Amino acid sequence: MRNPIIAALDVPTAERALQLAQQVAPAVGAFKIGMELFTAAGPDMVRQIRGTGVNVFLDLKFHDIPNTVAKAVAAAVRLDVQMLTVHASGGLEMLQAAEKAAEETAYEIGKSPPMVLGVTVLTSLDSNALSGIGLDPNVGRQVRRLANMANTAGLRGLVCSPLEVAELRQTLPRSMQLVTPGIRLSSSPADDQKRTLDPREALAAGANWLVIGRPIYGADNPRAAAEAIFESLQ
């Protein structure tokens, strides 16, 4: 089977990220680079991580006017990333601009377009927080609304919490790729994740990709940890 593990490189320096990536590369399907590492270490580090031959997921959650997001997406495509995130709450026009920029830039440089993933409602936001910013306080309804908007805009994937996967699977087209954090083996600590699924459960619920951070980079032997997670899926 294709390896669905996306190892989050949630480490503070380029040196540590590169060392971890080289160690773990044969055991994962992609690396996630988030805003801490990108802000500290920049585009060169993305190129170096991509140099391991593994797919890169650039998780910078773009949210701005459509023209600005389109340019940022184009720059990410030129860095040769295979997945990137935008906030679905940026609106239909912003999402369409992001997808168009991904497709056109990829065509220009002769690559396959990366998957532009829509982020619906951050799991740190509850009903109170949503009403505080004037949004529908029903989290599930807000997630569905934004997921449908992302689909209408032509996005091919979404980031969602493990608890949303099964429900979203029922309403979205089968081809929509669902990327899920909050993954824990029953033997590993939950850390600060409140709602987790184990890797098999998440795939059975309909996830396509599993974002896994601390259970891999926090392990004594990150490569062995990633291999054990992959084996648990067979």
Active site residues: 61
User: How many residues in the shown chain lie near ligand C5P by CB under 6 A?
Assistant: 15
Using the minimum distance from each CB to ligand C5P, give the nearer residue, 3 or 105: 3
Q: Which residue is nearest to ligand C5P (CB)?
A: 213
Q: What is the rounded distance in angstroms from the CA atom of residue 195 to the CA atom of residue 184?
A: 10
Classify 28 as helix, strand or coil: coil
Tell which residue, 101, 88, 100, 93, has the closest CA to residue 65.
Answer: 93
Looking at 145, 200, 214, 223, which residue binds ligand C5P (CB under 6 A)? 214
Query: For ligand C5P, which stretch binds (CB under 6 A), given 17-25, 42-50, 84-92, 211-219?
Result: 211-219
CB 147 within 8 A of CB 158: yes
Half-sphere exposure of 17 (CA within 13 A, CB side): 26
The conformation of residue 154, written as its DSSP 8-state character, comes to: T
Work out how close the CB of 110 gets to ligand C5P at its nearest, in angstroms, rounded to a whole number.
31
**Residues pairing with 158 in the sheet:** 118, 178
Helix (H) or strand (E) holding 66: helix 66-78
Q: What is the rounded distance in angstroms from the CA atom of residue 33 to the CA atom of residue 81?
A: 10
- Asked if 11 touches ligand C5P (CB under 6 A), the answer is no
CB 219 within 8 A of CB 187: no
Using the minimum distance from each CB to ligand C5P, give the nearer residue, 106 or 163: 163
Work out how close the CB of 158 gets to ligand C5P at its nearest, in angstroms, rounded to a whole number.
11
Using the minimum distance from each CB to ligand C5P, give the nearer residue, 97 or 205: 205
Phi, psi of 212 (to 5 degrees): -130, 120
Looking at 4, 29, 34, 114, which residue binds ligand C5P (CB under 6 A)? 34
Binding mask 188-207 for ligand C5P (x = CB under 6 A): ---x-x--------------
Work out how close the CB of 118 gets to ligand C5P at its nearest, in angstroms, rounded to a whole number.
13
Q: What is the rounded distance in angstroms from the CA atom of residue 74 to the CA atom of residue 6?
A: 22
Looking at 33, 146, 210, 212, which residue binds ligand C5P (CB under 6 A)? 212
E strand intervals along 98-230: 115-119, 157-159, 177-180, 209-212
Query: For ligand C5P, which stretch binds (CB under 6 A), given 11-19, 137-145, 167-175, 210-218?
Result: 210-218
- Asked if 123 touches ligand C5P (CB under 6 A), the answer is yes
Q: Which residues bind ligand C5P (CB under 6 A)?
A: 8, 10, 34, 122-123, 161, 181-182, 191, 193, 211-215
